Amino acid sequence: MHEFAIAQDIISSLEKNLPEDFAKITSIDIETGAFSGIVTDSLVFGLETIFTEKQINSVEINIKKIEAKAVCECGNSYNLEDIFELCPKCGSAVRELNSGTEISVKSVNIKEDNNE
């Protein structure tokens, strides 16, 4: 379950980059590529477990899947549904993936202080 290790890395990065505001996180938006190998439910479970261990409750975790896109040697750009899919224009398997293998934290929302 490499998703738990990924969740740990995400949390560590948030703690490092938001030292003053880490405990104020209300939501996190993550994008994962269709061919990233990430099991979304496992990643959510890992993040929720770590947030709970750190006594940060009610963090909304939003994960969006990004389509895999490729450019064939013939120049055709297309979306991939399957890693073994051939170019729909020329039938070639020689291509470069432009998206679909990534994972990234797109945004983190933090609770505002209303000290009046």
User: Which element (helix H / strand E) includes 9?
Assistant: helix 2-17
Q: Is 27 helix (H, G, I), strand (E, B) or coil?
A: strand
What pLDDT, on a 0 to 100 scale, did the predictor assign at position 116?
44
What pLDDT, on a 0 to 100 scale, did the predictor assign at position 42?
96
- Class for the domain spanning 2-67+99-110: alpha beta
What pLDDT, on a 0 to 100 scale, did the predictor assign at position 57?
86
Q: What is the pTM of this model?
A: 0.84
Full pLDDT tens readout for the chain, 116 residues: 589 999 999 999 999 999 999 999 999 999 999 999 999 999 999 999 999 999 998 999 999 999 999 999 999 999 999 999 999 999 999 999 999 999 999 999 999 876 54
Give the integer Cα–Cα distance in Å for 30 and 36: 13
